Amino acid sequence: DAKTTQPPSMDCAEGRAANLPCNHSTISGNEYVYWYRQIHSQGPQYIIHGLKNNETNEMASLIITEDRKSSTLILPHATLRDTAVYYCIVRVDNNNDMRFGAGTRLTVKP
């Protein structure tokens, strides 16, 4: 069973921030939160990951709540090319068995 819950779909206007939520209420202390995305049947692409602190890279920001039971992926200025399925995954360090759920289909509209 997937250890995360995500909304099945979301829309976002081009140029606006896209905020994708993820619930992981049963996360363990040694599990990280990872985000990948899959653009139109291509292979998944790594976006960002974190343990308990907020993280930012050139693609996105990851906000993890203090109790670590939920997180939000933020794409600060969404473009049409960000239209994809976004997967939130919890994973124990040193283990690459990533359990993908159904993800959130983000549609960025002009």
Partner 1 sequence: NAGVTQTPKFQVLKTGQSMTLQCAQDMNHEYMSWYRQDPGMGLRLIHYSVGAGITDQGEVPNGYNVSRSTTEDFPLRLLSAAPSQTSVYFCASSYWQGENEQFFGPGTRLTVL
The nearer residue to partner 1, 6 or 70, going by C-beta atoms, is: 6
- The structure tokens listed for 4 are 């995360």
**Smallest gap from residue 73 Cβ to partner 1 (A):** 15
d(CA 26, CA 98): 16
Q: Which helix (DSSP H) or strand (DSSP E) does residue 35 occupy?
A: strand 31-38
Backbone dihedral region of 76: left (phi > 0), alpha (psi from -120 to 50 degrees) or beta? alpha
Query: Least separation, in Å, of the C-beta of 46 and partner 1?
Result: 4
| Of residues 40 and 110, the one with the C-beta less far from partner 1 | 40
User: In whole angstroms, how close is the CB of 52 to partner 1 at the nearest point?
Assistant: 15
Nearest residue (CB) to partner 1, 66 versus 96? 96
Q: Which is nearer to partner 1, 14 or 32 (CB)?
A: 32
Residues of the shown chain interacting with partner 1 in the complex, contacts defined by CB under 8 A: 2, 34, 41-46, 49, 87, 93-103
Supply the minimum distance, in Å, between the C-beta of residue 13 and partner 1. Answer: 26
At 43 the three-state DSSP class reads coil
CA atoms within 13 A on the CB side of 105: 5
